[in-house]
């Protein structure tokens, strides 16, 4: 299913490229756009994960440099029956994280320094479990390709604005239709890319939350992490994300600080709704009592799906 969705995404983006090329340069523009789209698709499939990691200045870490973080990720990957992903750290005070990679054997998880400082061990485990869920669901290929292609489409629209890429015939350039086509391309191309990102993120975050809760065995760990990240993230400006907004949908929480955006175009579901879903999941998994089901509290949270993580009182602090 994910292969089909990825293929559909590539086809849709190719069609958008070609439509934009035709509007701006006629048949010649269409041919150039097709070549550009094919090259972009090939690059997106094989190299988009590396591009996104470079985009956010992520640095590869290992067991020696970050033993606690590495051990935590390794244990959670084992819980998820996944290979150990490459582990990256982003020197960024905004608490956030994302996963990337074309398949579980070529996957990476990136966390910011801010999220490691802000969250408890259990909360950070919930976040990493969420990112591993994206890998297990094979969401990362589609999400990363969407970020790369949407960014390329926005760049193409910028080229159209300045007249740097396609030049139609003199008659077309002088006609009102040509001007309207350029304006339409400038507006509709980024909008179409945003809608693609929205469709990917909104439907997949809930699934990754649920599977992430299963991987770490504690839904409330992730719920608590989301609540804390939501409260803290808006206080920090993520410059790399602001420069590359096409990658915003990859993060566990929207990294952009722009306000007043209609909920229709949000790249993430409302955090409160995600937390509520996780709390319902935790509530449904509590052991029965003589008085019936009880809400999750500080006293009974530990009863939610007793986990082998962390095991034996093991600490993951670096």
Question: 139 forms bridges with which residues in the sheet?
Answer: none
pTM value surpassing 0.85: no
What is the model's pLDDT at position 94? 97
Selecting among 131, 205, 214, 230, the annotated active-site residue is: 131
pLDDT surpasses 60 at 176:
no
Q: Which residues contact 208 (CB under 8 A, 6 or more apart)?
A: 130, 131, 133, 134, 137, 139
Write the burial class of residue 63 (CB in 10 Å: 0-12 exposed, 13-18 middle, 19+ buried). Answer: middle
The residue ranking higher by pLDDT, 99 or 21, is 99
268: three-class secondary structure by DSSP: coil
Structure tokens at 316: 């993951």
d(CA 121, CA 68): 10
Q: If you average pLDDT over residues 33-61, what whole number do you get?
A: 82
- Percent of the chain scoring above 70 in pLDDT: 63
**C-alpha atoms less than 13 angstroms from C-alpha of 70 in its C-beta half-sphere:** 10
What is the model's pLDDT at position 120? 96
Query: Tens digits of per-residue pLDDT, 208-255?
Result: 999 999 999 999 999 999 999 999 998 999 999 888 877 888 899 989
d(CA 47, CA 43): 5
83: three-class secondary structure by DSSP: coil
Mean pLDDT, the chain, as a whole number?
77
Query: Tens digits of per-residue pLDDT, 83-93?
Result: 999 999 999 99
Question: How many other C-beta atoms are found inside a 10 Å radius of the C-beta of residue 191?
Answer: 12
pLDDT surpasses 60 at 22:
yes
State the residue for tokens 């949908």: 249
Query: Tens digits of per-residue pLDDT, 277-303?
Result: 999 999 886 554 333 333 333 333 333
Q: If you average pLDDT over residues 10-33, what whole number do you get?
A: 74
Q: Is 285 a catalytic residue?
A: no
Q: Tell me which range, 12-26, 101-115, 175-189, 254-268, is most confidently predicted by mean pLDDT.
A: 101-115
Distance of CA 83 to the CA centre of its chain: 20
Query: Would you place residue 5 in the very low, low, confident or very high pLDDT band (cuts 50, 70, 90)?
Result: low
Query: Tens digits of per-residue pLDDT, 104-145?
Result: 999 999 999 999 999 999 999 999 999 999 999 988 877 777
């Amino acid at each position: 299913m994910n292969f089909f969705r990825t293929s559909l995404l590539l086809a849709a983006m190719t069609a958008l490229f070609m439509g934009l090329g035709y509007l701006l340069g006629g048949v010649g523009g269409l041919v150039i756009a097709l070549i550009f789209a094919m090259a972009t698709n090939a690059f997106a499939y094989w190299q988009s994960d590396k591009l996104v990691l470079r985009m956010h200045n992520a640095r590869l870490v290992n067991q020696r440099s970050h033993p606690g973080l590495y051990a935590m990720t390794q244990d959670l990957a084992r819980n998820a029956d996944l290979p150990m992903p490459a582990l990256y750290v982003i020197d960024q005070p905004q608490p956030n994280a994302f996963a990337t990679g074309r398949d579980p054997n070529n996957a990476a998880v990136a966390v910011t320094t801010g999220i490691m400082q802000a969250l408890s061990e259990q909360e950070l485990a919930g976040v990493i479990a969420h990112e591993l869920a994206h890998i297990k669901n094979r969401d990362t290929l589609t999400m990363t390709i969407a970020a790369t292609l949407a960014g390329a489409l926005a760049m193409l629209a910028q080229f159209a604005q300045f007249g740097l890429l396609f030049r139609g015939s003199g008659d077309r350039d002088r006609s009102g239709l040509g001007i309207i086509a350029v304006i339409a391309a400038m507006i509709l191309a980024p909008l179409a890319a945003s809608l693609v990102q929205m469709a990917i993120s909104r439907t997949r975050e809930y699934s990754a939350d649920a599977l992430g809760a299963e991987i770490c065995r504690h839904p409330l760990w992730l719920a608590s992490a989301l609540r804390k990240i939501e409260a803290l993230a808006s206080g920090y400006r993520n410059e790399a994300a602001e420069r590359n907004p096409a990658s915003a949908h990859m993060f566990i929480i929207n990294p952009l600080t722009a306000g007043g955006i209609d909920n229709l175009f949000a790249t993430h579901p409302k955090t409160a709704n995600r937390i509520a879903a996780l709390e319902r999941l935790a509530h449904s998994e509590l052991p029965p009592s003589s008085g019936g089901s009880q809400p999750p509290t500080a006293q009974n949270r530990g009863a939610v799906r007793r986990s082998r993580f962390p095991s034996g009182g093991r600490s993951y602090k670096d």
